[in-house]
Structure 1
Amino acid sequence: MIWKDIKSIDTIQDIYASNDTYILFKHSTRCPVSSMAKRNLEHDKNLIPEETVIYYLDLIAHRDISNAIADLWKVRHESPQLLIVKGDTCLYNASHSDIEMQDIIPFIS
């Protein structure tokens, strides 16, 4: 599993314009529930291929990008939040304790 930081709205717009499937993880560095969700994903990383990229958004540093994600994919902002998107469609959306690595598997195989 490879974490890839999202640091610009351009990255989100490129993902939105693509026809590939992307995994986005929105994380609040100040929230213990968010830290637990991230730890759980890291703990279960062996369930997915090693080269799987998960795009990581630090919500504290980039709330504007989080707002753009909510607007583009028509999902309510949550923290933590995991989205699987393809083009302009959000295929999957989970937040808080519902975030589990096993739910990612069907979208990457």
Structure 2
Amino acid sequence: MNWNILNSEAQLEAIKQESADQPVMIFKHSTRCSISAMALSRMERNWKEEAGIKPYYLDLISYRSLSNKIADEFDIDHQSPQVLLIQDGKCVYDASHMSISFDDLKQQVAA
């Protein structure tokens, strides 16, 4: 899995624009949380590039203000860990904790 590191607010506009051409996933990860580590590991083990989803990784401990900006920008409640699926500039799906699933992401993209 080839993560794109998300570490600046300027990237949010680019992500919105990218999401017009292909779905974009943002994985908000807490490096201090064992549940987040487990969700990240499951995502990486199940990831398939052919799904056509561009993955972004956010270390929300290091970039907490950016994590809050994402919640505001896409009108979702902040969770940790959390996955957001962005299509056409909008968050069309989000999941947190043990609800994070690559299969669910694929189903959302196919819908």
Could you tell me which residue of structure 1 aligns to residue 10 of structure 2?
Answer: 10
Q: CA deviation at 1:2?
A: 1.7
User: Residue type matched to 2:24 in 1?
Assistant: Y
Q: CA deviation at 1:16?
A: 2.8
3-state secondary structure, aligned to 2:3: strand
Conserved 8 A contact 1:2-1:51: no
3-state secondary structure, aligned to 1:60: coil
The percent of aligned pairs where both chains have the same amino acid is 37
Conserved 8 A contact 1:24-1:84: yes
Could you tell me which residue of structure 2 aligns to residue 69 of structure 1?
Answer: 70
Counterparts of residues 36-55 of structure 1 (less than 5 Å) = 36-46=38-48, 48-49=49-50, 52-55=53-56
Could you tell me which residue of structure 2 aligns to residue 29 of structure 1?
Answer: 31
Inter-partner Cα distance in structure 1 for 2:52 and 2:33:
27
Unaligned runs of 5+ in 1: none
Deviations for 1:3-29, whole angstroms, at most 9, x for unmatched residues? 111011100122234524211100000
TM value normalised by structure 1: 0.87
3-state secondary structure, aligned to 1:57: strand
Q: CA deviation at 1:88?
A: 3.8
Q: Higher mean Cα deviation, 20-29 or 99-108? A: 99-108
C-alpha RMSD of matched pairs (Å): 2.0
Q: CA deviation at 1:69?
A: 0.5
Q: Which runs of 4+ in 1 moved over 6 A?
A: none
Question: Residues 108, 12 of structure 1: CA spacing in aligned structure 2 closer, same or farther, 3 A cutoff?
Answer: farther
Aligned residues: 108
Deviations for 1:68-92, whole angstroms, at most 9, x for unmatched residues? 1000100000000000012442110
